[in-house]
Structures are given as C-alpha cells and as structure tokens.
C-alpha cells in the first residue's frame, strides 16, 4: 500500500489547535482508503524563535525537501515582528520550493450562514501568484528615526513568473466552467500591471477554449461581493490574490473554513497545504478555532498526493457536518469547540468511500 511522508509544521496560536484535527481526519480517510501517512513534526514557530533566535534551523528547508507534502498551521505571534516570523519560515518555504501557485478555492457550502442574502451558487478559485510581485525582497527602510525616514519596496514581475501563473489559471479554468478573471490595476498608475495584462492577454491567445476578462482590483472586490456566483477562476498577483482570498473567505461564511494549497506544479519540491487564516491570537488557547480550513487544506493535500477518493471522503464529511448544522464553532455563529466540530466531521465521513477508477489499484 502507498505510504506518504508528510512534514507537519503546526506553527503558532490556533495553528497548533487545527493541525491535530487535520491529522486525525487524514488518518481516518487514509485507513478507509487503504494507504498510510507518516508524519514528521517540526516545532518551527515563534516560540522556537524566542528560545533559540531562529524560526527554524539553518538547514530546515533541506530537512523537509524530501517529503511528499508539507502541512502547515499558521505562523506569527505577538511579540515577534511579523516580518521576522514570516520571512523566517513561511515565505522561504513558498519560494525555495517554487510553490508559485497558491490555490484558494471558495465555495458557499450548504447550510453555512454567510453575510450575503442571496449568494447563489458560489464556486470559484483564487489562483494567487505566490513567489514574486509585491512580496519582493528588494527594498527596505531607510533613515530610521529621522524626519526623512522612508520605506521602499520594488514590486517584481517577471515574464516567466506571470506566464506560468497565467497558464496555470487558464488550464484550471479549462477544466471548470471555462472562464477566467484577471485582477489588475492597469489604469496607468502602477507600472507593473500593464505588463501583467500584456502577458495574460498573450497567454489567453493560447487558451481559446477559455473566455476571460480583466477587472480592476478595486471594482473586482466590489463585484465579488455583489455577484460572487458569476466567477469561476480568478488570477491575481501575490498581494491582490492575498486580499481577494480573505474577502472571498468571508463571502463563504468565515475565514476559518478557507483552505489553501501552495503548489509546485513541476513537483520538483514538496507542495504545502495550510488554511488561509493566521494564528488568531484573539481566540488562541480557548479550543474554539474552526478546524475546517485546515481539514479542507488536508483534503487538497490528498488530491495532490493522488488520493482523490480519500479527498472526496473528507470533503463529504465536512459538507455533511455543515449541512447538518447542529455543530458550529463561534465564527459560524455557534458555540461548539474545535474538538466537537472535528468529531462531527469524522462521524460524517462515509464508512465506505468509493474506490477510485484507477486501474493500478
Ligand atoms: P488571522 O487570520 O489570524 O485572524 C483574523 C480574524 O479571523 C481574527 O479575529 C481571528 O480570530 C479570526 N479567525 C482566523 N482563523 C480562524 C479560525 N480558524 N476560526 C475562527 N476564527 C478565526 O489574521 P491576523 O489577525 O491578521 O494575523 C494574526 C497572525 O497570524 C499575524 O502574526 C499574521 O502575520 C499571521 N498570519 C499567518 C498566516 C499564515 O501562516 N499563513 C496567515 C495570515 C496571518
Ligand atoms: C496568507 C498570509 C500570508 C501572506 C502572510 C502571513 C505573509 O496572509 O497566507 O494569506 O500574505 O501570504
Ligand atoms: Mn492572507
């Protein structure tokens, strides 16, 4: 039977509360589908930073480069500046392992109360460029403490970088409803965006089966709230994609359920699966964090590992538990704990997942 090696980095705050439920759910569906997962746990976190002066060991990335996937909770904690914790752990993983696609699916699931009165059938994916753009290392802070103090950051958009994310998004749209929306800000102010638009338009010519359009990020944010059901695949730069994905998560009911897959499509390196949310210091330690973002991310990991039946079984558990509606964490308007919602999902996972139509099994 197949066995997969997973590097687990629970991280900080509620990261440590939602990752054990994800592993529990993974083990359940793995057992039912006949494969095993072996976890190597890494305590890389702000706590480790305070104790040792580093978020992870200097050879940290080498230690996880050979794993089949990385499962991450959240990184960041008050007292450690975010630029230290994030540049010390999360961002290096995304970059070094060339996880240039950040896939963030959004669906309004049955029975989930969202803020929109009539959301319609909401099912879209944010494809976020994940290694360049506004999140560049070029720049810094100058003249600290002086009256002429300043901060500068160069946004870096490369032809290969924009080409590959656009191609990924067009290909994904082709497997779905065939429509792509590119988030831009091309009205002449931001130099990088007309370039983004040109490259996306070039790639569009190679994907005639997909209809596409460009929308300005500000107007797009508004339209996404008004007409979320009209979107299929959205592609955006690192920062635009980041903002759109939290906005979209709120449309779906809570940032606590939103999943993310940081993908290295070429599979030269492990991909990383993590909920969209952060460490949530405001609710951490109380056992009430919503585990569904982590569980859904785990389902995306199963798909990536080539275990679609197990992924589907886990998603079915999530969907049934939500539709039932009895067990909800506070972010969803209920009073349930992380544990209770996890148990509800585990109980709702089908006992006999259908075996996938894979001749090799
Ligand atoms: P956050 O996502 O941690 O929290 C935003 C709000 O959403 C909070 O009110 C929080 O209670 C709520 N929330 C988030 N996840 C929830 C869940 N699973 N269940 C219920 N409620 C949930 O964002 P923030 O407050 O901006 O950031 C806190 C820290 O996390 C910062 O250090 C930030 O840098 C870090 N962060 C890390 C990641 C990551 O590791 N990928 C992502 C975002 C933020
Ligand atoms: C996310 C987070 C990160 C990002 C932060 C914590 C650096 O917000 O994963 O969406 O902006 O990529
Ligand atoms: Mn974010």
Per-residue model confidence (pLDDT) at position 189: 84
Per-residue model confidence (pLDDT) at position 252: 94
CATH of domain 1-102+259-354: 3.40.718.10
Query: Given pLDDT bands bounded at 50, 70 and 90, which one contains residue 352?
Result: confident
Q: How far apart are CA 235 and CA 63, in angstroms?
A: 32
Work out the mean pLDDT of the chain and round it to a whole number. 95
Residue 82 known to be catalytic: no
Per-residue model confidence (pLDDT) at position 120: 85
Per-residue model confidence (pLDDT) at position 359: 54
Per-residue model confidence (pLDDT) at position 361: 44
Single pTM value for the model: 0.96
Segment 193-201 mean pLDDT:
97
Assess whether pLDDT exceeds 80 at residue 20: yes
**Would the CATH topology of 1-102+259-354 be identical to that of 115-251?**
yes
Assess whether pLDDT exceeds 50 at residue 183: yes
Residue 185 known to be catalytic: yes
Assess whether pLDDT exceeds 80 at residue 69: yes
Query: Given pLDDT bands bounded at 50, 70 and 90, which one contains residue 243?
Result: very high
Q: Which of 185, 231, 232, 331 is catalytic?
A: 185
Segment 9-28 mean pLDDT:
98
Distance from residue 74's CA to the centre of ligand 1 (Å): 8
9-18 pLDDT tens trace: 999 999 999 9
For ligand 2, atom 3: residue with the closest CA: 242
In this structure, whether the domain defined by 115-251 belongs to CATH 3.40.718.10 is answered with yes
What b/e sequence results for 194-229 when a residue is b if at least 16 CB atoms lie within 10 Å of its CB, and e otherwise?
A: eebbebbeebbeebeebebebbebeebbeebeeebe
Query: Given pLDDT bands bounded at 50, 70 and 90, which one contains residue 355?
Result: low
Instruction: Say what percent of the chain tops pLDDT 90.
Output: 92
For ligand 2, atom 7: residue with the closest CA: 86
| 89 CB within 6 A, ligand 1 | no
Q: How far apart are CA 224 and CA 242, in angstroms?
A: 14
Residue ranges lining ligand 2, Cβ < 6 Å? 76, 86, 90, 242, 276, 278
Assess whether pLDDT exceeds 90 at residue 348: yes
Domain ranges of the chain: 1-102+259-354, 115-251
Q: Which of 27, 197, 246, 324 is catalytic?
A: 246
Assess whether pLDDT exceeds 70 at residue 296: yes
Instruction: Say what percent of the chain tops pLDDT 70.
Output: 98
């Amino acid at each position: 039977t197949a066995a997969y090696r997973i590097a687990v980095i629970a991280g900080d705050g509620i990261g440590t509360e939602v990752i054990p439920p994800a592993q529990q759910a993974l083990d359940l569906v793995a057992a039912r589908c006949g494969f095993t997962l072996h976890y190597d746990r890494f305590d890389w976190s702000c706590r480790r930073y305070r104790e040792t002066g580093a978020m992870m060991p200097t050879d940290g990335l080498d230690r996880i480069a050979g794993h089949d996937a990385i499962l991450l909770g959240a990184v960041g904690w008050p007292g450690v500046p975010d630029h230290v914790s994030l540049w010390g752990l999360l961002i290096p993983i995304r970059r070094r392992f060339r996880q240039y696609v950040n896939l963030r699916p959004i669906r309004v699931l049955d029975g989930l109360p969202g803020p929109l009165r009539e959301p319609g059938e909401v099912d879209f994916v944010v494809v976020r460029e994940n290694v360049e753009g506004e999140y560049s290392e070029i720049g810094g802070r100058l003249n600290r403490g002086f009256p002429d103090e300043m901060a500068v950051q160069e946004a870096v958009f490369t032809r290969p970088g924009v080409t590959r994310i656009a191609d990924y998004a067009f290909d994904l749209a082709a497997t779905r409803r065939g429509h792509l929306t590119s988030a831009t800000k091309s009205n002449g102010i931001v130099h990088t965006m007309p370039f983004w638009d040109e490259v996306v338009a070039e790639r569009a010519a190679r994907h005639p089966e997909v209809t596409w359009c460009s929308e300005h990020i500000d107007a797009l944010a508004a339209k996404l709230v008004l007409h979320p059901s009209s979107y299929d695949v959205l592609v955006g730069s690192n920062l635009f994609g980041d903002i759109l994905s939290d906005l979209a998560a709120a449309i779906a009911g809570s940032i606590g359920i939103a999943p993310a897959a940081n993908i290295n499509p070429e599979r030269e390196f492990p991909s990383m699966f993590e909920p969209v949310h952060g460490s949530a210091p405001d609710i951490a330690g109380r056992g009430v964090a919503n585990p569904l973002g982590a569980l859904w991310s785990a389902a995306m990991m199963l798909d990536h590992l080539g275990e679609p039946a197990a992924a589907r079984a886990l998603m079915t558990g999530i969907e049934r538990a939500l539709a039932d509606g009895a067990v909800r964490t506070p972010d969803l308007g209920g009073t349930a704990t992380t544990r209770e919602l996890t148990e509800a999902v585990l109980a709702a996972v089908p006992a006999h997942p259908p075996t996938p139509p894979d001749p090799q099994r």
